[in-house]
Structure 1
Amino acid sequence: MNIEEEVAQGKKLPVMEAFYTIQGEGRFTGHPAYFIRLGGCDVGCIWCDVKESWDSGKWPVLSIDKIVADALAFPGRLVVITGGEPLMYDLGPLTALLKDKGFTTNIETSGAHPFSGNFDWVCFSPKKFKKPHPSIYAEADELKVVVFHKSDFAFAEEHANLVNSNCELRLQPEWSKAGKFSPMIIDYVKNQPKWKISLQTHKFMDIP
């Protein structure tokens, strides 16, 4: 079996970086977490702060055994799989192994590809640049919409109408536009209390 076949089966994955830190945003803000950032993305967000992740060919392809062994070196047992766009890959084998080793598994995804994997928490952050795959809506535990433009409030409501009724709803100002949109988000959430605010606390606190 060649590397391409192993990647297609989720036995090996391109890993841009993996690091132990504090989750800075969303439902698990403040929790110690091991991040696994997979290489490869075809969504193309203009504000992406990890554009170097987009080309999967730049990053080492690691076995899931190696990925999990590296995670086990740290005391925390919360793993966040992110990207890039992690659902470009079959995450079933990786998440099965993580769960077998006692990890809580989270994902941060744009939902642009078919859902896969066994996750305890699914943070769905849709983007206008590539339409989400329909499979994400039933799986999402958290809808997190980044507000970069005034039209993103309507975009957020569009997706809020599609997720399941237990999904938590969050609006997050895009970092470079926070001065402009934070007051608008505050007013919006006060008037639409089904929403909560998410902030990138790791940037405020300079958490690497």
Structure 2
Amino acid sequence: MVTGGEPLTWDMTVLTNKLKEQNLRVHIETSGAYPVTGSWDWFCLSPKKTKLPVEDAYKIAHELKVIIHNKHDFQFAEEQAAKINDNAILFLQPEWSKKEEMTPLIVDYVMNNPKWRVSLQTHKYLNIP
């Protein structure tokens, strides 16, 4: 899994080719705000409002994960879902510092909008850095 910071600020072609030469599956989580490089087995698009994804990211994403900080982020999530390819899985995830407030709202939203799923940062609940 390639993540952290914004991996697509660098050309990922050499890295993904080397990993695939070792018969490894290669996954990425990215905001999609930079040109897509590399060869990915799983592409998680987690867009940010401040710099939206490039068109190619919407086309190849296997999943769309939208972080929910406040009630207005549900509208942003729907706007992003309207741009994503038809095969992508849609996730809503509470921003960690707002999890107590936002998780119940996300659960209600998903119950009323079943195209969405709930995503949680399980490693944080388990205190795994």
Superposition TM-score, scaled by structure 1 size: 0.61
Structure 1 counterpart of 2:12: 91
Percent identity of equivalent pairs: 53
Bigger Rg, structure 1 or 2: 1
Q: Tell me what 2:120 maps to.
A: 199
Q: Which amino acid aligns with 2:126?
A: M
CA apart distance, 1:102: 1.3
2:83 is paired with a residue whose SS is coil
Deviation above 4 Å: which 4+ runs of structure 1? none
Consecutive unaligned residues in structure 2, runs of 5 or more: none
The residue type equivalent to 1:147 in the other structure is I
- Which residue does 1:111 correspond to in 2? 32
Q: Give the unaligned 5+ runs of structure 1.
A: 1-79
> What are the Cα deviations for residues 35-71 of structure 1, in whole angstroms up to 9, with x where unaligned?
xxxxxxxxxxxxxxxxxxxxxxxxxxxxxxxxxxxxx
CA RMSD of aligned residues (A): 0.7
Give the whole-Å Cα distance in 1 for the aligned partners of 2:48 and 2:116: 18
- Measured after TM superposition, the shift of residue 133 of structure 1 is 1.3
Listed as ranges, the matches of 1:2-151 within 5 Å are 80-151=1-72
Distance 1:107 1:81 in 2: 5
How many angstroms does 1:132 deviate by? 1.4
Letter in 2 for 1:186: V
Counterpart of 1:196, as a letter, is: R
User: For the residues of structure 2 that align with 1:177 and 1:83, how far apart are their CA atoms?
Assistant: 20
- Compute the displacement of 1:83 (Å): 2.2
Matched position secondary structure for 2:67 = strand
Q: Which structure has the highest strand share of the two? A: 1
Q: Find the aligned partners of 1:110 and 1:147 in 2 and give their Cα distance.
A: 14
Q: Which has the higher helix share?
A: 2
Number of positions where the alignment pairs a residue of Structure 1 with one of Structure 2: 129
Q: What is the DSSP-based 3-state SS (H/G/I as helix, E as strand, rest coil) of the residue aligned with 1:188?
A: helix
TM-score, normalised via structure 2 length: 0.97
